[in-house]
Amino acid sequence: MKFGIFANLAGPGRHEEFDRVLDEAREQAVYCDQNGYDSIWYTEHHFGHEGNELISNPILMGADIAARTKNIRIGQAANVATFWHPLRLAEDIAMLDQLSKGRVEVGLARGLYGREAANLNTLADPKNQEQNRALFDETVEILQKALSNRFFSHKGDIYQFPPEGLKWSHPMSPSTSDFMDLDKNEINKISIMPPPYQKPYPSLWQTIDSPRSIVSAAEQGIKGIFWMPTVKELKLRFELYRETASKARGYEVPLGEGLALVRDVYVAETMEQAQQDAAEAVLNNYRWICHWRGLSNLMDPGEQVKPGQELDYEFLHPRNLLFGTPDYVAEKIQELKEELNIQNLLLWVNHNGLPHEKMMKSLKLFTEEVMPRFSTKKQGVEV
């Protein structure tokens, strides 16, 4: 099993000490790089003056972390693809891949908040799901072309690259059929610069939730990232991905292959200490997101939200929190292995309002007392 960090940096009022937020993030990343973590993932959110999400550009954040680390893979969970110009997104991903010498994992999302879409790209308005999906799908198609080909072109419902009638003539750029229509002396293909370091291109991941998104990602060969649901509900979603991927690839895909799961984690000496230290902070995360999503995504299959059900620690903890002693957390991870064949577990440890010192203490307890129980290395050889 591979362990990564889902680093959603957050905290009310922290915009006033953002330099400290960055220093803490660097300390966390360097520690994880030196202690066997596979990956670290940064988020993209905008205009969040409330402090629930502080990073607006995970690629730029990743560039800073790449310069300070050697081994850890650097992901985005996720680039909101519908807010980006697809060619700029492709070039920035490729640049980060070069800067990190091939350590990039590309995470993509469609976008959740209308406040963001209204100011960045009205075509991405989540109220118009069909338009949002069409924009996302075409952006991903362009991204795959740009990252995997020396020269490429695209003509879709939203974008056309290059535009028709683009003339080109320069003695240092000789005319060639590789990227030109020689009869018209026009460019008919383009090339991003730089190309990615990884060949054919970095892995693509998508934060997925609905059956439609799960099927679409599996059909396109895009890996999936899940977060909230219970184990019983996740098993149905993992099975749907596996069945769709198996059909698309023409062979039986193992359960859990190509998938990652984000779980909220806090490790302490006692169960009571974990709750005392971090319950309010993790609830802040859920209060923020469940305002729009409600509690239905936290229910077992067939279970209904009870009238008047409150979002509190007693409700949340048994459903999906890895909060408690090392033994308890290890037991819950073992359940994920047995039920889901989980291969990539991303730890959400930067809870909203949790002091950095407590986060690092919990992270070190996990690293020293939980992670070794799931090591995939024997006698120095990874298996």
Cα–Cα distance measured from residue 227 to residue 303, given in angstroms and rounded to the nearest whole number = 18
CATH number at residue 224: 3.20.20.30
**Over 60: is that where the pLDDT of 314 sits?**
yes
Residue 233: pLDDT band (50, 70, 90) is very high
Shared domain check, 179 and 126 = no
Shared domain check, 116 and 132 = yes
Shared domain check, 123 and 229 = yes
Q: Is 157 helix (H, G, I), strand (E, B) or coil?
A: coil
CB neighbours of residue 106 within 10 Å: 28
Q: Could you give the percent of the chain with pLDDT greater than 70?
A: 98
pLDDT tens digit string along 259-303?
999 999 999 999 999 999 999 999 999 999 999 889 999 999 999
Which tokens hold the place of 194?
Answer: 């730089």
Say how many domains are in the chain. Answer: 2
Shared domain check, 222 and 164 = no
Residue 377: pLDDT band (50, 70, 90) is low
Shared domain check, 170 and 22 = no
pLDDT for position 379 = 40
pLDDT for position 293 = 85
Shared domain check, 350 and 272 = yes
pLDDT for position 382 = 46
How many helices, marked H, and strands, marked E, lie in the chain? 11, 16
DSSP calls for 337-378 = HHHH---EEEEE---TT--HHHHHHHHHHIIIIIGGGG--EE
Residues ≥6 apart with Cβ < 8 Å to 4:
37, 38, 39, 40, 41, 73, 75, 260, 344, 345, 346, 347
Shared domain check, 123 and 145 = yes
DSSP calls for 70-106 = SS-EEEES-EEGGGS-HHHHHHHHHHHHHHTTS-EEE
Enter the pTM of the model.
Answer: 0.95
Residue 84: pLDDT band (50, 70, 90) is very high
Shared domain check, 165 and 50 = no
Shared domain check, 334 and 283 = yes
pLDDT tens digit string along 238-251?
999 999 999 999 99
Shared domain check, 278 and 333 = yes
pLDDT tens digit string along 107-140?
999 998 999 999 999 999 999 999 999 999 999 9
Cα–Cα distance measured from residue 205 to residue 75, given in angstroms and rounded to the nearest whole number = 9
pLDDT for position 383 = 41
Q: Are 241 and 220 within 8 A, CB to CB?
A: no
What is each CA distance from 148 to 58, 80, 178, in whole angstroms?
22, 20, 15
Residues ≥6 apart with Cβ < 8 Å to 193:
91, 94
Given 160, 190, 220, which residue is the final one in a domain? 190
**Over 90: is that where the pLDDT of 381 sits?**
no
Residue 34: pLDDT band (50, 70, 90) is very high
pLDDT tens digit string along 149-177?
999 999 999 999 999 999 988 999 999 99
Residue type, 167: K
Shared domain check, 172 and 307 = no
pLDDT for position 26 = 98
Shared domain check, 322 and 341 = yes
Given 190, 216, 240, which residue is the final one in a domain? 190
Given 165, 190, 215, which residue is the final one in a domain? 190
- Secondary element (H or E) of residue 134: helix 129-148
The mean pLDDT of 9-31, rounded to a whole number, is 96
**Over 50: is that where the pLDDT of 75 sits?**
yes
What is each CA distance from 375 to 57, 105, 345, in whole angstroms?
32, 22, 13
- Tell me the pLDDT of the chain averaged across its residues: 96
Q: Are 343 and 256 within 8 A, CB to CB?
A: yes
Range of the domain at 252: 2-150+196-382
pLDDT for position 31 = 98
The residue ranking higher by pLDDT, 376 or 212, is 212
